Structure formats: structure tokens, C-alpha cells
Amino acid sequence: MVKLTWYGHAAWLVEFERHTVIIDPFLKDNPKSPVKPSDLKKIDFVVVTHTHSDHIGDAYEISKEKGAKLVSLYENIIEADKSGVKEENIAAMNIGTQVDFGGIKIGFVQAVHSANCTGTVITADNVTIYHAGDTGLFGDMKLIGEMYRPKVALLPIGGYFTMGPKEAAMAARMIKPEIAIPMHYGTWPPIDSNPREFQEILKGEVKVPILSPGETFIV
């Protein structure tokens, strides 16, 4: 069983049986997040797709306070120790393959965006979650789907900075997850897209749960 809790925007708490991961923990300044970093309990890994403030958010603070491993691309976090993150908690990786952190594997994949953005594929308990980061549509999402066979794809649908509902639906068709959950919408006016549009396009093809911030989906 894997529990996925959406904190609004691209922030997700992923609770595997033994490992708890927070992805893109934009909490304090996130108008939709029902929690602040101090509300979090056990966090083992903080995974950051890129350094835009709506993604790296409170990553350093959470890593410091929870003793969690901070995982991102090299340039994104190599100087995190200057902000007080313990050196042994900095996993400065790059796009390529999943790294085994002892029962949980975390990898980065391409995303089409600025700021060195990536997607991330996280596998534990025989379940793979693909968080696409901020991205436009690109053909190699098919390859990500074939390579990692994610059960769940978390896809941005807000438009303006990322894919909109139509592009994200095309992405889901390429990735072929069992479940596709929309994210990165509704936070502020420019990204007020309609998740029902995404759901409607994929009707009968991919399961699309629409979550409210704070809601948990169990896989």
C-alpha cells in the first residue's frame, strides 16, 4: 500500500511501507497547502525536481529538521550545506538511472522546462510513482512509461508554465499509467485550469482521481 497525499501545487507526500518521501515541498508560501513544514511527521527523503521557489520551497528546512536526505540534481543542491543541510544528507545526482537508497529507488528523468527541471521516478514496495515536475509535452514520455512502468503518474495540467489538460492527457496516453493524477493547477489565477477536462479526455482509458489539497489517495 502506498499513500499519496497532495498538498496542492506539485507538493506530494508519498508514504511507502518503510519510507516517507516528500516531493517539491512548497508548503509555507503555498496558498493551497493545508500543512506547514512543522506539521510533518517522519520524512526520510526530500526530492526536488528543480529550484523554482514553488518547487524547492521548504526543502532545506525539512531536510534539516527531519534529518531527511535531500535528493535532486547536482547544481540544485550542492551548496545546501551552506544553509545547514548536513553533507551526508545531500544526494546530488543527475538524470540517468534510479539509485537504490536501501529499499527505495529514486531517479530523475527529462522534463521540458527551464531551470534544469526534471521529472522523478520513485520505486518502493513494487510500486513506481512518476512525478513529471514542471514540463511541456515531449515524445520521450513514452520511453519513461516503457522503462519504469509507473503505476501512478502525477502530471501538471495548469498551463501557462506547463502542460494544460489536453497535453497532459496526451502525456498519460504515452506513459500508460494505471492512475494519472492532475497537479500544478488552481494555485493562482494563471494556472486555474479544469481537472475535469483532463479526466473527461481520459475517460475509459486511465483512472483520473481529482484530489483536493490535503486529500490522500491510496494505491
- Interface ranges with Zn ion (CB under 5 A): 54, 134
Tell me the residue type at 14: V
Residue 218 CB neighbours (<10 A): 9
User: What whole-number distance in Å separates Cα of residue 214 and Cα of residue 8?
Assistant: 7
For residue 72, the cross-strand partners are 92
Please give the sequence-ordered ranges of beta strands (E in DSSP) within the chain, or none if there are none. 3-6, 12-15, 20-23, 45-47, 69-73, 90-93, 99-100, 105-110, 118-124, 127-131, 152-156, 179-183, 216-218
Q: How far apart are CA 183 and CA 56, in angstroms?
A: 16
| Least spacing, CB of residue 136 vs Zn ion, in Å | 12
Taking the least distance from each CB to Zn ion, the nearer of 2 and 48 is: 48
Q: Considering the complex, what minimum distance in angstroms separates the CB of residue 19 from Zn ion?
A: 25
Judged by beta carbon, residue 54 or residue 58, the one nearer Zn ion is: 54
* Smaller CB separation from Zn ion, 192 or 205: 192
44 or 134: CB nearest Zn ion: 134
28: left (phi > 0), else alpha (psi -120 to 50), else beta? alpha
Length of the chain: 219
Q: Report the nearest approach of Zn ion to the CB of residue 199 (Å).
A: 21
Tell me whether residue 8 or residue 177 sits nearer to Zn ion (CB atom): 8
Q: Which is nearer to Zn ion, 38 or 114 (CB)?
A: 114
Could you tell me the end-to-end alpha-carbon distance of the chain, in angstroms, rounded to an integer? 6
In the complex, the smallest distance separating the C-beta of residue 155 from Zn ion, rounded to whole angstroms, is: 13
Least spacing, CB of residue 23 vs Zn ion, in Å: 12
Q: Sign of torsion, CA 66 127 10 78?
A: positive
- The CB-of-87 to Zn ion minimum distance in angstroms stands at 28
